[in-house]
Amino acid sequence: MAAWVTEEKPAELFDPAVGPGTFFSAARAVGFEGGLRGFELDHTAFAGCGKLGLDASDFGGVAVGDFLQAGIGELFPAIISNPPYIRHHRLGDARKAELKDYARRTLGFALDGRAGLQAYFLIKCLTMLAPGGRLAFLLPADVCEGFSSRPLWNWIAEHFRIEAVLSFAETAAPFPQVDTNAMVFFLSQNPPAATLLWCRVEEPDGDAILRAVGNGVRYGAKTETVKILRRETKEAIATGLSRSPAPPDQDGYPLSRFARVMRGIATGENEFFFFTYAQLREAKLPERFFRRAIGRTRDCPGAVISPEDLEALDAAGRPTWLLNLGDQPMESFPAPLRAHLERGEHAGIPRGALVQTRRPWYRMEQRTPPPLLFAYLGRRDCRFVLNRSSVVPLTGFLCVYPHDDTPKNVERLWRALNHPLTLRNLVYVAKSYGSGALKVEPRQLEHLKIPFTVAEQIGLLPREAADQLVLLETPHKRKRHCSKR
- pLDDT value at position 375? 87
Which of 201, 220, 248 is where one domain is finished? 248
- pLDDT value at position 87? 66
93 and 194 share one domain: yes
Higher pLDDT, 181 or 21: 21
177 and 200 share one domain: yes
Domain hosting 442: range is: 251-262+372-380+399-485
- Any idea of the CA torsion for 118, 225, 378, 406, to the nearest 10 degrees? 110
Q: Is there a domain that residue 146 lies in?
A: yes
Query: In CATH, what number is assigned to the domain containing residue 105?
Result: 3.40.50.150
88 and 149 share one domain: yes
Closest to 200 in 3D by CA, of 232, 216, 224: 224
Domains in the chain, number: 3
232: region left, alpha or beta (phi > 0 left; psi from -120 to 50 alpha): beta
- How large a percentage of the chain has pLDDT more than 90? 64
195 and 274 share one domain: no
94 and 211 share one domain: yes
Helix (H/G/I), strand (E/B), else coil: 249 = helix
Q: Is there a domain that residue 50 lies in?
A: yes
**Confidence bin at 345 (pLDDT 50/70/90):** very high
Rounded CA gap, 184 and 357, in Å? 40
Q: Is there a domain that residue 394 lies in?
A: no
Contact call for residues 8 and 136 (beta carbons, < 8 A)? no
Q: Is there a domain that residue 392 lies in?
A: no
- How large a percentage of the chain has pLDDT more than 70? 89
Which of 364, 388, 413 is where one domain is finished? 364
The set of residues, in sequence order, having a beta carbon less than 8 Å from that of 107 and lying 6+ positions away, is 123, 151, 152, 155
- pLDDT value at position 204? 80
Q: Is there a domain that residue 386 lies in?
A: no
Rounded CA gap, 50 and 52, in Å? 5
Pick from 87-101, 151-165, 190-204, 269-283: least confident: 87-101
The reported pTM is 0.80
Rounded CA gap, 424 and 417, in Å? 10
Rounded CA gap, 327 and 404, in Å? 32
30 and 127 share one domain: yes
Q: What is the pLDDT of residues 278-314, one digit of tens each?
A: 999 999 999 999 999 999 988 998 899 999 999 999 9
244 and 301 share one domain: no
95 and 194 share one domain: yes
42 and 119 share one domain: yes
220 and 325 share one domain: no
58 and 186 share one domain: yes
- pLDDT value at position 477? 43
114-138: average pLDDT: 94
Partnered with residue 226 across adjacent β-strands are 201
Q: Is there a domain that residue 97 lies in?
A: yes
Q: Is there a domain that residue 393 lies in?
A: no
144 and 227 share one domain: yes
**Mean pLDDT of all residues belonging to the chain:** 88
Q: Is 285 exposed, middle or buried (0-12, 13-18, 19+ CB in 10 A)?
A: buried
* Res 469 pLDDT > 50: no
Q: Which range has highest mean pLDDT (200-204, 233-237, 440-444)? A: 233-237
Q: Is there a domain that residue 390 lies in?
A: no
